[in-house]
Structure 1
């Protein structure tokens, strides 16, 4: 883990989950602290790591960091810049997983804005990178052509976000559902481009209650098969 990371580690006992948090463009790891604190409180045996992006911010009025430059960004250049940044992003995820001896199934990527873009595109590009993605105020660089296998994608957005409007995230959710993926989308009113407490509340709710298809599939495969025909009472009629 680099010196630029902020970590919330279990006070004692084994580490059972790994949350990797990625900030927005022009910010730094400390901006993800409110979400990190929420996750650490809900999952005391998790390692919650906030990471800085690798490059100095190139925009005006910022002292933070970036995965790709926002200067002159267009739909086409976003695709190119994200693709160029993905190998480093994926390498960071793999390195922290190795450090904590944590499998991809027990890893979650949580990103805000540019951090959400990178997290969403990383699980599209790299199989078995993370079991969940929490994307706040983000979007895919390109509409997803496939659903990441056994990865649950949670999208959280403010309805009044003017920096990254919610439309592309809603479109992505619809595409992922059509492609057979696990996805949730929560778009809340009166929230702009921010890591709002209400969005964090929704994230905790989805983590606690949403049952991925993989879990259901494994539960069904382990269920005993009872021979004989079912009665109407057995079927709930």
Structure 2
């Protein structure tokens, strides 16, 4: 669970029990409060959803620019491709326990749970889903990346990648590479790239995310409904591998 000096912001349905659970993970140097605009947009679109945003588990210890303040999931100090996965793995057990606690507290199961991450939060969401397939039914990764591209497809989690084409913090090519790898593994994923946007959470991509949540039918649902159809997964993967431009 978060440390004593962190907090969790909650947006609950006005009436009735939650039907969905959306867990928002902020970027490095931010806090739960930074996810409030996204939480409000999701709440308007899904009024019966419980939306929770925790603070990162540690105080932000700064980056190359010298910026400090806020929270983080793992340290950026000396971060590189050689140690990124190790740092992410260190936080995953604690994050998984928090997710399960939120599910128990709201009475919402894994299939109706969405992990929604921005930047460092998206990295954690993607790697948590990879480590514990089915802990959440959906992952929405904004301006994120895998620490290491996956070696196997998820069977119980759908991935949605959202990225600004001009992102100079985590390049959009990371989202494209992740989408390509998931498609090769015959996993279930979509991608939306917004032209003219950088490392941010713009309304255009939030609208895309809401549309994906409302309209995308997971491949596993198709398979269960239609039975074993030769070539079905390949055709569905080809359908969703088309890179859709978001309106900027």
TM-score if structure 1 supplies the norm length?
Answer: 0.90
Measure the CA separation in 1 of the matches of 2:182 and 2:173. 14
Deviations 1:160-181 (A, max 9, x none): 0000001111111111111111
Measure the CA separation in 1 of the matches of 2:149 and 2:20. 29
Deviations 1:157-211 (A, max 9, x none): 0010000001111111111111111100111111000011111011011111111
In the alignment, is the contact (CA less than 8 A) between 1:150 and 1:213 conserved in 2? Answer: no
List aligned pairs for 1:204-219, cutoff 5 A. Answer: 204-219=210-225
Measure the CA separation in 2 of the matches of 1:75 and 1:61. 21
Measure the CA separation in 1 of the matches of 2:224 and 2:44. 29
Tell me which residue corresponds to 1:226.
Answer: none
Tell me which residue corresponds to 2:140.
Answer: 134
Pick one of 20, 41, 50 that aligns with 2:44: 41
Deviation at 1:54?
0.7
Measure the CA separation in 2 of the matches of 1:48 and 1:104. 14
- Give the gaps of 5 or more residues in structure 2: 228-248
Measure the CA separation in 2 of the matches of 1:166 and 1:127. 24
List aligned pairs for 1:104-123, cutoff 5 A. Answer: 104-123=110-129
Find the residue that maps to 1:185 and give its secondary structure: strand
Pick one of 190, 201, 211 that aligns with 1:195: 201
Tell me which residue corresponds to 2:161.
Answer: 155
Deviation at 1:91?
1.2
Deviation at 1:127?
2.3
Measure the CA separation in 1 of the matches of 2:116 and 2:20. 13
Q: Which runs of 4+ in 1 moved over 3 A?
A: none
Tell me which residue corresponds to 1:64.
Answer: 70
Deviations 1:75-125 (A, max 9, x none): 011111011111111111111111112210000000000000000000000
Measure the CA separation in 2 of the matches of 1:119 and 1:87. 12
Measure the CA separation in 2 of the matches of 1:188 and 1:61. 27
TM-score if structure 2 supplies the norm length?
Answer: 0.86
Tell me which residue corresponds to 1:54.
Answer: 57
Measure the CA separation in 1 of the matches of 2:198 and 2:7. 28
Measure the CA separation in 2 of the matches of 1:123 and 1:109. 9
Measure the CA separation in 1 of the matches of 2:51 and 2:108. 12
Pick one of 75, 80, 85 that aligns with 2:81: 75
Tell me which residue corresponds to 1:21.
Answer: 24
Measure the CA separation in 1 of the matches of 2:39 and 2:182. 27
**Considering only CA atoms, is the larger Rg found in Structure 1 or Structure 2?**
1
Deviation at 1:217?
2.0
